[in-house]
Structure 1
């Protein structure tokens, strides 16, 4: 798929760097490569404060970052899970997305630094994500948040965690208002047309996704667990309404859109929007891609609508 001019310019820059060999690449070298990639500044326009804290997780303290917009009374709460293939990235790499979502949605956004593979393999990240939402629900009033107005959100691997949390909490005391899924990972099989055609897509391709899975899952059988591959979930009824954003030139495009369709077939209210001409992770590139600004404004509006209804 043809990229838009801004995305193509970034793709041309990336093409000048040597492509890693994912048959031999170490996780440490990949994380170093990610750390060297410039991150769009978070900014704090429209925010009252940005604070770091910890939650008492079942496996030890769970770091979080709290993005608080200006506003009186109890505000809605959005719990955000960052992407990074389950093995990389952090609350630092995704601060720009969280800051923008908080400012535009009027929601307190809490970004969760869940455990990563291969040091902590599946289902550690899932357990942390579920635990974080439960703990934040219990602390909502102390945070100045409304415990009846909670959404989950995430990009890529974080989108997987968000929707797995939505399923895990579906029939419990926490009634989620929305799930915001930015180009989510939903199928460890990696055999959709967009995966198989992704050898040359910028930022993410099928070889990289298979490498992520090898470093996240403890064994091949885990790939068939719906907590790893939400598209395999057989009961999606009664889940919180969802917004699913995909990118046209993304190996995850088809599985994200297939998951959106599965939610619709299960009777869930879904808004699905594809950004053609964009590659995976485009929403992180604020200040470089106009599409990033557009997608996050759209996402924030979806959150506002969810909290208003």
Structure 2
């Protein structure tokens, strides 16, 4: 990896975000990826419990273990106008950690704020289940959600989940399933790790380029075709006919450029896409939505974008 000027996080990251980073690292300290997979999952689960917030009063959830395990969230006051679409959510965690509990409160709040029902997908994790297991589960989960409601779907995912949402959008764009849009939150889309944000933010707090490489190694063998768009959506040769796309990146994140390049490829193919590079924020900032003003503002944009896509509208950029 070439040398590159490193970002000045003392000036880029504000005091609230620094506090969020310190609190996170008390539960998921740097170097945790050096632990066993089981230990990583225990540590991550503890982190998620620490940051978990109560559901909004109107939201309830129920699990369905038939086929792909899912959790379905509904808002009691949602009517036929606000529930014009449904959200399918894919959690982050490097394809290694996380599940229905890790982003439970995030999904509940998306349900409340967007007015749409939300279905979270519990896909298989690596290294026990390498690619394409998670992708296959993601597709099956969307098919299950579509069959249950026949409502247009807004695909949403953060980090690894953003990768899955994009891969599903590419896979299903010509199917009978109606995709109203996709919202990708600090996604890892298989960008070139030898340049750009992967160098400038190689040592970013919360996620380093070395950790991105670690997760990529666990997800697929060295011999796997890296141009496989179900693995790396940025590697696809065709970006036409994709649903309207909103990408929310964190400025202080090695994955930042993936979102920018993905937006550009869609625009070049004649599609509709926008990229928001959230100033001073770090990977995983969804958990800071109640304590960091910048994260709170971004989360409001995210749920507004979800609602607008679901009703055939567009978020002002």
TM-score w.r.t. structure 2 length? 0.87
The gaps in structure 2 that reach 5 residues or longer are: 1-6, 313-317
Which one of the candidate residues 287, 294, 297 is aligned to 1:294?
Answer: 297
Q: Which residue of 2 aligns with 1:133?
A: 142
The CA deviation string for residues 92-145 of structure 1, in whole angstroms up to 9 with x for no partner, is 1111211111111111011111000001100000000001111111111xxxxx
| Pairing of 1:94-173 with structure 2 (within 5 A) | 94-140=103-149, 147-173=150-176
Q: Does structure 2 retain, via aligned residues, the 8 Å contact 1:4–1:277?
A: yes
For 1:274 and 1:179, the matched residues in 2 are separated by 16
Q: Which residue of 1 aligns with 2:94?
A: 85
Which one of the candidate residues 203, 209, 229 is aligned to 1:226?
Answer: 229
- Secondary structure of 2:102's partner? coil
Within the alignment, does 1:68 sit opposite 2:74 as a pair? yes
Q: Which residue of 1 aligns with 2:177?
A: 174
Q: Does structure 1 retain, via aligned residues, the 8 Å contact 2:152–2:177?
A: no
Distance 1:78 1:248, change over 3 A: same
TM-score w.r.t. structure 1 length? 0.89
The CA deviation string for residues 24-67 of structure 1, in whole angstroms up to 9 with x for no partner, is 542222222212325423422253421111242xxxxx221111
Q: Does structure 1 retain, via aligned residues, the 8 Å contact 2:259–2:275?
A: no
More strand by share: 1
For 2:130 and 2:105, the matched residues in 1 are separated by 27
Q: Does structure 1 retain, via aligned residues, the 8 Å contact 2:86–2:152?
A: yes
Within the alignment, does 1:53 sit opposite 2:64 as a pair? yes
For 1:130 and 1:41, the matched residues in 2 are separated by 27
Within the alignment, does 1:28 sit opposite 2:38 as a pair? yes
Q: Does structure 1 retain, via aligned residues, the 8 Å contact 2:20–2:288?
A: no
For 1:170 and 1:21, the matched residues in 2 are separated by 38
The CA deviation string for residues 227-265 of structure 1, in whole angstroms up to 9 with x for no partner, is 111111110101000110001100100112111111111
Q: Does structure 1 retain, via aligned residues, the 8 Å contact 2:158–2:185?
A: yes
Within the alignment, does 1:274 sit opposite 2:277 as a pair? yes
Q: Which residue of 1 aligns with 2:3?
A: none
Q: Which residue of 1 aligns with 2:209?
A: 206
For 1:21 and 1:136, the matched residues in 2 are separated by 34
Between 1:181-190 and 1:43-52, the stretch displaced more is: 43-52
For 1:189 and 1:32, the matched residues in 2 are separated by 31
